[in-house]
Structure 1
Amino acid sequence: MATRLVTLRQGDARDAGTVDALMAAAFDPRFGEAWTRSQCLGVLAMPGVRLLLAIVDDEPAGFSLTRAIAGEAELLLLAVAPPFRRTGVGRALMEAVVADCRIQDATILHLEVRADNDALYLYRATGFAKVGERRGYYRGRDGRQYDAHTYSLALGST
C-alpha cells in the first residue's frame, strides 16, 4: 500500500474515546496488550506523558503514548488501525515520538513488545535493539501467556 498523508496532533484526556476505538481495532484481545480507559487516563495525568494522534483523511488512524522523565523515555503504547498499516502511519508516529523525546532531553527510549508482534519490523527499522526479555509477561483472555521483549534506542543529545 502506498504512503498516505499523515497529520499528527497532540492529544489529551478528551481523546480517550478515540484512543479506546483505536485500541479495540488495533490490539487483538487474545494477547492482552490493550489498556483500559482508566489506565490511559491515569497515565495521561502524569508529568512527561504525551499522547500523539495520527489522522489520515480526517479519520483517526493511530496513536502513540509516551512518557519522558529524568533523561529517559518509554513508548508505552503505539497502535495503528488495521486499514492504515503499512501506509506510513506507524513510521510517522515513531519519527515524531523520537523527535519529541529528544526535545524532552531524553537520551534513551525504551519499549516492550510481544515477542511475535508485527510492530517489531517498525521498531527495528527505527533503530531499536533488543535488550531483554520477559517470559509470560502478557496474559491473553484464554489465560495463555506470551513473552515480551524489551528494546531500547539511544537518542544521543539534541
Structure 2
Amino acid sequence: MMDDIDRIMEVMDAAFDPRWGEAWTHRQVSDSLAFPHTHYRLIGPDGEPATGRAAGFTLVRAMADEEELLLVAVAPAHRGAGLGRRLLGRVLADARGREASRVFLEMRANNPAERFYRLSGFEPIGRRPAYYHTPGGETIDAITFACDLKQALPAATGISR
C-alpha cells in the first residue's frame, strides 16, 4: 500500500502542469510534514477521506492564529465533481476549528484557480513581482490572498459560520 506522501505525490504529478514548475518534490512534502503544525488531507473520488488512491489533497501550515494553504490539488480525472470545493471548505472549517482568524495562500498571477479562490472568500492582499520562475525562464508575479474566517464564508465553500 502506498504511504500518504506517495499518494500526495501521485495526485501532484497528475495535477500540476510541468510548464509552471509548481509541483513539489517528495522531499519537500516530507520535510514540510516534519513540522508539528503542518497538516494534510487526502480525499477519495467519492469526496470522503481517501482509504486507497487519492483523488485530491491539501497541505496546510498553521502559525499563531493564521494558516497558510501551501498546496491543493485534484487529479484531472476527478475534476468537475466538487472535490476542490470540498477540500477547500474543509481547510477553512479545520482552520476555524483551530481558532485561526485568517487563511492565506499564494499563487502565480496567471493561475486559472483565481476565480475559484475568490468565490470561496479569498481576497488579494499583495503581489510579489517576478516571484515565480518557470523551467522555461519566464517570470510570473505571485499574488497573496487571504480569507478572513471571522466573516461569513460564501456558500461556495460548503461551510457556514
Whether 1:103 and 2:87 are equivalent positions in the alignment is no
Q: Runs of 4 or more off by more than 3 Å in structure 1? A: none
User: As a proportion of its length, which structure holds more strand?
Assistant: 1
Which of 13, 31, 40 lines up with 2:29 in the alignment?
40
* Counterpart check, 1:29 vs 2:4: no
Separation of aligned partners in 2, 1:108 and 1:16: 26
Q: Which one of the candidate residues 122, 128, 132 is aligned to 1:128?
A: 122
How far apart, in 1, do the equivalents of 2:30 and 2:139 lie?
A: 26
Q: Which runs of 5+ in 2 are unaligned?
A: 47-51, 152-160
TM-score (norm 2): 0.85
- Superposed displacement of residue 59, structure 1: 4.2
What are the ranges of 5 or more consecutive residues in structure 1 without an aligned counterpart? 1-12
TM-score scaled by length of structure 1:
0.86
Within 2, Cα distance between the matches of 1:62 and 1:134?
Answer: 28
CA distance in 2, matches of 1:88, 1:123: 13
Output the CA distance in 1 between the equivalents of 2:26 and 2:44: 20
1:92, CA displacement in angstroms? Answer: 0.3
Between 1 and 2, higher relative CO (CA 8 Å, sep ≥ 6) is seen in 1
Q: Is the Cα contact below 8 Å between 2:5 and 2:30 reproduced in 1?
A: yes
Q: Structure 2: which amino acid aligns with 1:82? A: P
Aligned counterpart for 2:39 among listed residues 37, 45, 50: 50
Contact 1:30 1:141 (C-alpha < 8 Å) held by counterparts? yes
Aligned pairs, number: 146
